[in-house]
Chain A
Amino acid sequence: MNRLFLFIKTIYLPLLFIILEVVAINYYANSSSYTRAKILGSTNAVMGSFYKTFADIKGYFGLRKENRALVDELTALHNEFERYKAVNPPSGDTLRMPDSEAAKYFYTSANVINNTIMLRENFLTIDKGLYDGIEANMAVITPEGSIVGIVQACSEKYSVCMSILNEKFRTAGRIKGSDHFGSIYWNGEREDMVQLTEVSKYAEIAVGDTIVTDHSSIFPSEVLIGTVKSWEMVADSYFDIEVELATPLTSANRVLLVRYADQLERMMLETEGIK
């Protein structure tokens, strides 16, 4: 009996270590990116205001640049509005305003309060949540219209988005001006590069070609992803293209959230089609 106690006394520490480590590894291995988003979401209920203060302080340093971008965007919208005015003469009853019910996409803006790039699975936290009408599977883009990520989980006041710099992130990408498309993913090597893979070998590619989103049930059509940097032919059957991101995610302080009005209908139809 005494010996047994002595034995336990000598091995209880490694044993305790192994048990704790196995529990931790088990928890980690069974977690999905959704669990991680959930954890962040619930922490944000407590930490959110701290993050916000911190992000506010950081925000002051970029104000001048941000103002510049806002003015540019305003100018672009003015120009577009003028074009609408040109086709719709202001006199008479024939003025056709776009029906809000018929709009396909709804936009909201939010501030990024937490953003990582150095993990293999990176997430952004934004300061809007369920109360502001944010829900999972909304698209996240920069105000200039280039890709950032997808909303993954929401709490009342905050949402966690999977960033394009996340190895679980997938979306379709297309070479703008052609019909050749492929799958966008991130290989984790550089924070300013993503990969477009399985592009048809008949595609004509040039350095600097624009890559945009394609046929997504999340992103509006032709959201800017980046430009072609280099490519290689794999197994004589398809191209792997290195894409330089149009906007580096490290500088994403303000984002737009986009809800696709027909998303539910489309997703249901598509999953039914698979069955």
Chain B
Amino acid sequence: MHRTLGYTIFFLVMVLLQAFLFNNLNMSVYIYPLVYTAFVMLLPIQLPHVVVLLLGLLTGIAVDVVSGTAGLHTIASLFSAFCRPLMLRLSIGKEEANEGGIPNAGRLGTGAFLRYCSVFILIHSIAFFSFEALSWSYFHLTLLRILSSAAITIPLVYFAQMLLMAGQSQNVRKA
């Protein structure tokens, strides 16, 4: 139960951070950190796939509503949520994936976590920016935006997962 509370707070923090901070960074046309992906990425491994998919839908809709992008974030979040079990199995191996737990740096080890995190963010960014461009004529620009945005998002998600870990361990201590 304590986990649900932790995740609810994490969800809100991620959506609000995206809305008020990362949607307004305005550093460059090529840098749009999609930090809210951390929520779906860090859901417990043993959570049924269908729940992950529905939470991905919820995250996407929430971010779409606050950023005024009609469906873009939903398309990308559904896609990455659907691919999540595959990405987990590929980056940490099937056996370890079966053991469950929260897929953070503490549980997976920093190397494996960064691998999982990078693949996840890349998949998410590819879906997001290709659907945003909706055209092959800007292919090189889209590619550049995917790579530069993902490169900024990865360290930010790493911080976000430390935040969740700190929150969860505090909850455990209380319980």
Contact = CB atoms under 8 A, between A and B. Distances in A.
Interface of A: 12-14, 16-17, 20-21, 24-25, 27-28, 31, 35-37, 39-40, 43, 47, 50-51, 54, 114-120, 123, 160, 165, 188-191, 250
A25 B72 CA distance: 8
A16 B49 CA distance: 11
Given A13-B49, A17-B78, A24-B71, A114 B32 contact: no
Interface in B50-69: 50, 53, 57, 60, 64-69
A25 B71 contact: yes
Size bracket, chain B contacts: 35 or more
Interface string B137-155: 0100100010000000000
B132 interface: yes
Nearest to A47: B66
Contact of B65 (A20, A39, A118, A123): A39
Contact of A118 (B20, B26, B66): B26
Interface of B: 19-20, 23-32, 49-50, 53, 57, 60, 64-72, 74-75, 78-79, 82, 131-133, 138, 141, 145
Given A47-B19, A116-B26, 7 more contacts: A16-B53, A20-B53, A20-B57, A28-B131, A37-B68, A43-B66, A119-B69
A31 B74 CA distance: 14
Contacts, number: 94
B75 A24 contact: yes
A165 B67 CA distance: 16
Contact of B24 (A13, A116, A119, A189): A116
Q: Looking at chain B's contact residues, is the secondary structure mostly helix, strand, loop, or mixed?
A: helix
Contacts of B69: 36, 119
B131 A123 contact: no
Given A17-B53, A24-B74, A188 B28 contact: no
A165 to B, nearest CB: 8
Contacts of A51: 20
Contacts of A191: 26, 28-29
A40 B69 CA distance: 8
